[in-house]
């Protein structure tokens, strides 16, 4: 495909262009949703920018993920740095984390849509060989040099599969939120659905840089942990007393 785009005498990596375009969309849509939901604009946009800064610093310190995608484990480390920065900002602004997460879940789905389109064009995170008519064949030597993408072989467009999943989730999340679900449920629905889909898409991935501790890739193990964390968090939110009846609950029934 197009691992790089040349503007004049400058050669720019396609992934980097789409990554920063996705960041811009994330900021703009988050600001719009903050206004529509009556949330503190500075708190919401600041959380996004804090997350971007955390991701960028981690990528700059440990690998070149700002221009070329890192391995899944590296990207996950960057994502954890981004989450930590966002949580810290939410603490500074005294924003409820679940409310903030619900606001940012749909914009983040769009962020994934654009990032994965960038991956598809660049040739990274490619799929296994396939005989299906929709298989994509890469021919640019830069894709091979930068990402180890096999050339001349039809591959599953796993990047587009994930992009399509994220786009569907975006629409479903917007529809779901209109029904005024309990706080935190929009984010939980997104996190559980996306990690489950990505786990199964991992079986179609063909890139070897993901690491394989055991029968699954590192990203699949992370999906399992993330899915379990979401389920446990929902149990805790529903019953924070761990099954014990608190005094306030007893008083409310009198």
- Average pLDDT of span 92-112: 93
With a cut of 70, say whether residue 148 has pLDDT above it. Answer: yes
Structural domain includes residue 254: no
Alpha-carbon torsion, ordered 115, 116, 120, 122, to 10 deg: 30
Structural domain includes residue 253: no
Both tokens of residue 139? 């021919």
Structural domain includes residue 252: no
Q: What angle, rounded to 10 degrees, do the helices at 218-238 and 72-93 form?
A: 30
State the pLDDT confidence band at 242, using cuts at 50, 70 and 90: very low
Q: Which residue did the predictor score with more confidence, 249 or 192?
A: 192
**Residues contacting residue 129 through CB under 8 Å, at least 6 positions apart:** 135, 150, 153, 154, 155, 156, 206
Percent of the chain with pLDDT over 90: 52
With a cut of 90, say whether residue 146 has pLDDT above it. Answer: no
| Whole-angstrom Cα Rg for the chain | 20
Chain segment 54-72, per-residue pLDDT in tens: 888 877 776 554 445 555 5
Domain count for the chain, please give it.
1
Structural domain includes residue 246: no
- Average pLDDT of span 2-20: 85
pLDDT of residue 32: 94
CA 220 to mean position of chain CA atoms: 14
State the pLDDT confidence band at 209, using cuts at 50, 70 and 90: low
**Are 77 and 46 contacting, i.e. CB atoms less than 8 angstroms apart?**
no
State the pLDDT confidence band at 4, using cuts at 50, 70 and 90: confident
Structural domain includes residue 200: yes
State the pLDDT confidence band at 79, using cuts at 50, 70 and 90: confident
Burial class (CB within 10 angstroms; exposed 0-12, middle 13-18, buried 19+) of 53: middle
* CA–CA dist 164, 86 (Å, integer): 26
Structural domain includes residue 187: yes
**Are 161 and 128 contacting, i.e. CB atoms less than 8 angstroms apart?**
no
Structural domain includes residue 251: no
With a cut of 70, say whether residue 221 has pLDDT above it. Answer: yes
Structural domain includes residue 248: no
- Average pLDDT of span 35-39: 87
For every residue of 1-31, DSSP letters joined together read --SEEEETTEEEEHHHHHHHHHHHHHHHHHH
Q: What residues make up the domain containing 65?
A: 4-240
Output the CA–CA distances (angstroms, integers) from residue 61 to 23, 26, 64, 77, 105, in the order listed. Answer: 19, 23, 8, 11, 27
* CA–CA dist 218, 90 (Å, integer): 29
């Amino acid at each position: 495909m197009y691992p790089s785009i040349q503007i004049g005498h400058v050669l720019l990596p396609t992934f980097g262009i789409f990554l920063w375009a996705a960041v811009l969309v994330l900021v703009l849509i988050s600001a719009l949703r903050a206004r529509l939901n009556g949330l503190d604009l500075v708190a919401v946009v600041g959380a996004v920018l804090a997350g971007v800064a955390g991701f960028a610093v981690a990528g700059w310190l440990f690998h070149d993920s700002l221009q070329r995608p890192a391995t899944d484990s590296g990207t996950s480390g960057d994502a954890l740095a981004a989450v930590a920065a966002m949580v810290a900002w939410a603490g500074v602004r005294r924003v409820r984390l679940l409310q903030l997460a619900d606001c940012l879940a749909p914009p983040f789905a769009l962020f994934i849509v654009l990032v994965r389109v960038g991956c598809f064009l660049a040739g990274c995170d490619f799929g296994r060989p396939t005989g299906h008519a929709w298989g994509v064949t890469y021919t640019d030597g830069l894709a091979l040099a930068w990402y180890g993408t096999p050339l001349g072989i039809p591959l599953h467009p796993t990047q587009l599969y994930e992009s399509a999943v994220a786009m569907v989730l975006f629409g479903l999340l917007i529809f779901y939120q209109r029904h005024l679900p309990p706080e935190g449920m929009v984010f939980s629905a997104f996190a559980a659905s996306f990690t489950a889909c990505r786990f199964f898409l991992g079986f179609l991935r063909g890139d070897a840089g993901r690491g394989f501790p055991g029968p699954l890739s590192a990203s699949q193990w992370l999906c399992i942990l993330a899915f379990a964390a979401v389920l446990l968090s929902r149990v805790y939110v529903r019953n924070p007393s761990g099954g014990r009846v608190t005094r306030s609950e007893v008083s409310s029934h009198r």
